[in-house]
Amino acid sequence: MSEFKESKSITQPTESHASENNDGQHSLINGPPEKFELGSMYSDEHSRIESEPVSHSAPRDVDWDGPDDVLNPMNWTPGKKWRTLGIISLMTFVTPLSSSMFAPAVTEVMKGFKSSSTILGEIVVSIYVLGFAIGPLIIAPMSELYGRKWIYLISCAAFVIFTMACALSSSMSMLIVFRFLAGCAGSTPVTLGGASIGDMFPKEKRGAAMAVWGMGPQLAPSVGPIIGGFLAEAEGWRWVFWLQAIIAGIIMFLGAIILRETYAPVILQRKTVALIRETGDSGLKSSLQDPTPTSQIFTRAIIRPIKMLLFSPIVLLLSMYTAIIFGYLYLFITTLPQVFQGQYGFSVGVSGLTYLGLGIGAILGLMVVGKTSDSMYRKLAARNKDIGVPEHRLPPLLVTIPLVSIAFFGYGWAVETRTHWSVPMIMTALFSMGMMPAFICTNMYFVDAFGRYSASALAASKLLQSVVGAFLPLAGRPLFDHLGLGWGNSVLGFIALTFLPVPWLFFRYGEKLRTRFDVAF
């Protein structure tokens, strides 16, 4: 309760009412309400409070103690914000790391369990990503009910347990089941990270924060196979999972020490509970409290991501594009070892190095977004009478979106003709350089556009991404067997090319579309 002692503002009921801006922060309109400080109430009116019963007839709102309230995550010191973001970013790195770190070891697993099914070999990798589709449907509403911090920590603990179970698996079916459960638990930081950034950082400073957080989900799938390839070759495939569990356990311990709650409605609710205990006034309520019953809130929150996908063309089309890109990434992850071992004669360990192209391109893409996003946002806002809108997040994506198609055309024909191995690696770097702005700009767009419900918008996007990421790699081998590596990858390039107009369409007409197709929550 001590953390609430510096912030004890109570809003007396007036004719004014509350509204929410896109950041999910509470604002008061129609004139300032009457406020009084609990500290002065105790010192000046102590005897009156003791002698008169507290009136509970008119509930009073507990709000932030002014615009500079230290409890409001928007007002945290930069050090506190970046420490919190640092832990979230580490969590967001280790769980996608597990999705791909295992890929080079699949051949060893197949030998160990005496299986020759190529489909099973691909499923044991992609089933983890399917967990990323199911997890957000529960995680997003839970975070909007109970806050972010404990969802992060509990999910991290579950991830450690399920990863250890993968290491101890005695059959292929057991390994597949625990890989799926580990994916469900591991989806938490990927789902909530963007929403946590929206909780702490104002719009004009989210670009750099998103770039740092975005390293995890985009860079980890490129780094993972490099580590996993050599580790599996030296120590066996089980140690790939033991290493993941050790890293996640350390991060969970750091998170228990450093993480703080960032979700404003939960912080104000805890502040309200502390004030009720201190004053005995049960008439107090949080200004952000939703009077709807918890069961109804939870049901509505589970349905909300599906509603966004079905009824918001912005969420649907941007999620479809990022889903295609995500599926392409995991197509690379599952096929690169086979291509370079088959076409160029690389060993299991050395084939893991072929993911370096994806990693280098991801870093370049992060640099593009980190350097340009916030500055472009401020310039476009200045041209719009100092009013920033979510569409101002899209310019980096407008520039880099053609790189995905170019990469697939170049990669496909380079490996088909067995051009020097450096050429297809350069093409994979171009792909991930185009991929990074797609994910980061889309995440920032959803956070800016949906504010308090940004976790649900991101969950909707992750749902579609993960389904495509899980099943598209299964179509890779039949596609390449039928059309060859050249034309097979060209087909993927043409599909990506059809999405070229999407960000331009939303940059110009996104605000009208958001207004016209506003989803009722």
Q: What domains lie within the chain, and their CATH numbers?
A: 1-71 (no CATH), 73-261+296-516 (1.20.1250.20)
For the chain, the 3-state helix, strand and coil shares in percent, each to the nearest 5, are 75, 5, 20
Averaged over 407-416, what is the pLDDT? 93
pLDDT of residue 51: 37
- What is the pLDDT of the chain when averaged over all its residues? 80
Query: Percentage of the chain surpassing pLDDT 70?
Result: 87
pLDDT of residue 330: 79
Averaged over 197-220, what is the pLDDT? 81
- Please check whether residue 311 is in contact with residue 319, taking contact to mean a CB–CB distance below 8 angstroms: no
pLDDT at 44 over 70: no
What residues are paired with 62 via a beta bridge? 10, 286
pLDDT of residue 298: 75
pLDDT of residue 304: 82
pLDDT at 37 over 60: no
What residues are paired with 26 via a beta bridge? 20
pLDDT at 47 over 50: no
Q: Could you tell me the CA-to-CA distances from 432 to 217, 254, 461, 494 in Å, in that order?
A: 12, 30, 19, 17
Q: Which 3 state secondary structure label does DSSP give 499?
A: coil
The more confident residue out of 362 and 40 is 362
pLDDT of residue 90: 92
pLDDT at 30 over 70: no
pLDDT at 32 over 90: no
In this structure, of 55-59, 60-64, 311-315, 465-469, the range with the lowest mean pLDDT score is 55-59
pLDDT of residue 161: 96
What residues are paired with 18 via a beta bridge? 28
Question: In the numeric block, which tokens belong to residue 246?
Answer: 């050790």
Confidence label for 25 from pLDDT (cuts 50, 70 and 90): very low
Averaged over 351-367, what is the pLDDT? 82
Residue 286's φ and ψ, nearest 5 degrees, are: -65, 140
Q: Burial letters for 351-381: b for 16+ Cβ neighbours within 10 Å, e otherwise?
A: bbbbbbbbbbbbbbbbebbbebbbebbbebb
pLDDT at 375 over 60: yes
